[in-house]
Structure 1
Amino acid sequence: MKPQVKPSAEYSTSTGRWEACAYILGPGGTRRRVSVYAATRREAVTQLAEKTAVSRKGLPTRARIPTLADYLTWWLTEVEAPRVRPSTLELLRSTVDVHLTPGLGRIHLDKLSIADVRRFVTRLQTTCQCCAQNKERRRQQPRCCAIGQCCGMRLAPTTVHRIYQVLVAALSHAVREEYLHRNVAALVQVPTGRDGHKPRALTLDQARALLEAASDHRLYALVHLALLTGMRRGELLGLRWQDIDFDAGTLTIGQTLMRLVGTGITFAPPKTPSSKRVVALTDSVLTVLRHHKRRQNRERALLGARWHESGLVFTARNGKPLDPYSLAPVFDRFRTIAALPHFRLHDLRHTTATLLGEAGTELHITSSVLGHAHLGTTADIYSEIRPATQRAALTALEQALSEEP
């Protein structure tokens, strides 16, 4: 359907401006009238030609195009909220509120250009976030832009790429909703940021030192279970006694614990369908868990009515669920005692996979233990081949080559 454009613009005595109008294709095959006004006849005709160019290609146009900020608010509420995990939605909202809305929010969707996105990404890569987010207002003693000494706190490449991917995903849906005819963000080249932080795997001796450092702590069983099973933090903190079958020597991961801004501690299904799994437990792990249960029973008896029964394996001292962020200082203490390099709790998951690989465990078994949906995830992220392992393999090859036939 071709738009029907008046052969010439008309002068409006009521507005004192030139008007050009045409009928263009709208959503659902409908037609609607569009008018443009300008100070001169030439400008009115030119602007009308721009608006009707898309319709000539048979592509529908929206009567009202929202700003990116308004569209992102709708996209999060109506599209993403029903289908993603609460923790994922919280991350998306933070990305939109902190970066996308301040950077691009005032631009209407149909006016957003490749150059706008490119400039936005460049600003993310080069701008001090302390200054951009005005973090000085939350400090009692200014130490950055407020005193003219910028700290240069830049976003990590992985963070920049994550922000960019959120924008690409949102605009892809805008194309499906017929707000846009192409995704301009997808045409901008942005480094993936995969050269940023890499998981750190402890060596066998370091893992032993960690277990020794935590041996007298009430959460020793958590450390032991993390190293022997590679469970995620949320899976460990969401583990219930009813999920453990001491007779069969297994545990079932059926929920995770997370902390959300504005909501607090909450429970959710496992990260993916593959994350809901049954994990076999060794005799040593079962012994440690039995000891941990006796210790928890003593804590319950000591507090009496003040104990909050949650049914969880790992709790605070009063029985309430553990705050995920409370584990960081605990592991920092273990690291100091054991004289270990800095590592995160999630790095114990990487340690499990790496030590299993060095012990000769097949990749598909490691993937099953970790609860990955694809073998490629295990291979790409968690299978680190350390120099000692490489050297042993190359030595075996060297010996084979030097043997007489």
Structure 2
Amino acid sequence: MTVSGANSYTVAQAVTDWLEHGLGGRDPNTVYTLANLARRHVIPALGARKLRELSAEDVDRWLAGKSRVLSTSTVARVKSILARSITRAQARDKVKRNVVLLCGTPTGRGGRPSQALTFDQAQALLDATPATTMGAYVVVSLLTGARTEELRALTWSHVDLTGDPDSVPPVPPSMRVWRSVRAGGDTKTRGSRRTIALPERCVGALAEHRARQTTARSAVGERWIDHDLVFATETGTAMDAANVRRDFQRVAVAAGLDDRRWSPRELRHSFVSLLSDGGVPIEQIARLIGHAGGSKVTESVYRKQLRPVIDDGATAMNRVFPRRGVRPSVRPSEVPRTPRRPGQNPQLGL
């Protein structure tokens, strides 16, 4: 680029170049998110500025304005987008220095704190679940604590609805939470990779869901794209996060909940809260939800050789939320509590 060309190079050009050429190998979902943030928050405010004329004071004012409407983490992300774009331009002699590196990250708006369903709200949500893909999704998410990114990647080959009752000890129905929609298909951490027993209500919901999916697959014929996904679209493809949120909010409204206050991720928080209220020790809950330090299932385990299967959560949820038509034997607050060690935190941060 000529000197005159470099002098006219704009922030928008730098950001666009980084989005198009600086994100090779990144997960498509990550690329989409970064592009969306850049086009909403960086380019409209600073895009017209010539890159060589951009000052640290310009960036400070821009970040201060964003901190009034965005969370701290989002402010940091949009700042990073600008910084990386300028670093790429700097390496190509289009600007002498990266002024973003001279700026701090202001504190943004506080995000909405996560919350958990009460027993009555959880019961109402389960009672309102329709005979649909999202209905089955809600049941499994709430009663197993699996992350939404894990359930969206769950395959039927990792679900065992029968177990092996004749083995010693018996193997209960279970699901292998070994994948996610993250880059590379891995779970959030290696400790997140786990096999968990399925509560009876999950077994029933998944069996009915598989039958519905088989019928739907026959109806669409060649348009069905087989990825073996448990929770899939009408043509067998992966569900995206936006679709899950939208469909979950419809179920929430049917249960009498304010759809503006609840999101799918809070089903996991509710799982933790309900088990904690039922006296399940924090160490066991950590294993169930795949936190570091919990028990691991080796990668060499096969479908009929699951050892060990984490069944504490299934046992507790069978008591609290039995299959349809059976009255709960106990509410979480009525389950005899396991004594906690002095200083042990009664809640588990997610």
Alignment of 1:277 onto 2:212:
no
Worse-superposed segment, 349-358 or 205-214:
349-358
Residue by residue over 1:196-244, the C-alpha shift from the partner in whole angstroms, topping out at 9 and shown as x without a partner, is 2222221232112211111544532211111123333343233221122
Kept in 2, the 8 Å contact 1:239–1:256? The answer is no
CA spacing shift, 1:194–1:292, aligned 2, 3 Å: same
Name 1:351's counterpart in structure 2. 270
2:210 match = 293
The aligned counterpart of 1:251 is 176
Q: Distance in 1 between matches of 2:119 and 2:181?
A: 28
In terms of fraction of residues, the more strand-rich structure is: 1
Question: 1:219: which partner in 2?
Answer: 134
Tell me the CA shift for residue 157 of structure 1: 5.7
Aligned twin of 1:93: 35
Does the Cα contact within 8 Å between 1:226 and 1:236 map onto a contact in 2?
Answer: yes
d(CA) in 2 for partners of 1:114 and 1:362? 51
Task: Tell me: CA distance 1:199–1:244, structure 2 relative to 1, closer, same or farther (3 Å).
Answer: same
- Residue aligned with 1:97, SS: helix
Once the two structures are overlaid, the 10-residue window that deviates more, 206-215 or 158-167, is 158-167
Map 1:48-63 onto structure 2 (within 5 A): none
Asked if the contact 1:244/1:250 (under 8 Å) is kept, the reply is yes
Moved more, 291-300 or 193-202: 291-300
CA contact (8 A) 2:141 2:267 kept: yes
Shift in alpha-carbon separation, 1:122–1:364, aligned structure 2, 3 A: same
2:119 counterpart (175, 196, 204): 204
The alpha carbon displacement at 1:114 in A equals 1.3
State the alpha-carbon separation in 2 of the partners of residues 66 and 194 from structure 1. 33
Instruction: Calculate the TM-score normalised by the size of structure 1.
Output: 0.56
TM-aligned CA distance change 1:97 to 1:295, over 3 Å: closer
Q: Distance in 1 between matches of 2:197 and 2:82?
A: 43
**1:280 CA displacement:** 0.7
Aligned with 2:213: secondary structure? helix
Going from structure 1 to structure 2, the CA distance change for 1:69 and 1:291 (only over 3 Å counts) comes to same
Structure 1 residue ranges without an equivalent (≥5):
1-34, 37-62, 127-153, 258-266, 376-387, 398-405
Alignment deviations for residues 342-368 of structure 1 (CA, whole Å, 9 cap, x no partner) = 301122122233334444556565455
* Larger Rg computed on CA atoms: 1
Aligned to 1:114: 56
Find the aligned partners of 2:146 and 2:77 in 1 and give their Cα distance: 25
Quick one: distance in 2 between partners of 1:271 and 1:193?
29
Q: Is 1:312 equivalent to 2:221 in the alignment? A: no
Task: For residue 162 of structure 1, give the secondary structure of its aligned residue in structure 2.
Answer: helix
Alpha carbons of 1:331 and 1:173: their partners in 2 closer, same or farther (altered >3 Å)? Answer: same
**1:133-144 to 2 correspondences below 5 Å:** none
Q: In angstroms, what is the RMSD of aligned CA positions?
A: 4.3
Change in 2 beyond 3 A, CA 1:105/1:316: closer
Deviations 1:268-307 (A, max 9, x none): 6246454872331234233432232233334445x27367
**Structure 1, residues 139-185: CA drift from partner, whole Å, max 9, x if none?**
xxxxxxxxxxxxxxx55565444322332444566677887776532
CA 1:268–1:163: 2 relative to 1, 3 Å? same
Question: AA paired with 1:103?
Answer: A
Of 229, 236, 242, the match for 2:144: 229
Distance (Å, rounded) in 2 between the aligned partners of 1:75 and 1:304: 41
Question: What SS does the corresponding residue of 1:279 show, helix, strand or coil?
Answer: strand
Superposed CA deviations along residues 96-144 of structure 1, whole A, max 9, x for unmatched, are 2232223223445444321010122244356xxxxxxxxxxxxxxxxxx
Give how far 1:94 is off: 1.7
Higher relative contact order (CA 8 A, sep 6+): 2
Secondary structure, counterpart of 2:22 in structure 1: helix
Structure 1 CA distance for aligned equivalents of residues 102 and 49 of structure 2: 18
Counterpart-to-counterpart distance in 2, 1:76 and 1:316: 29
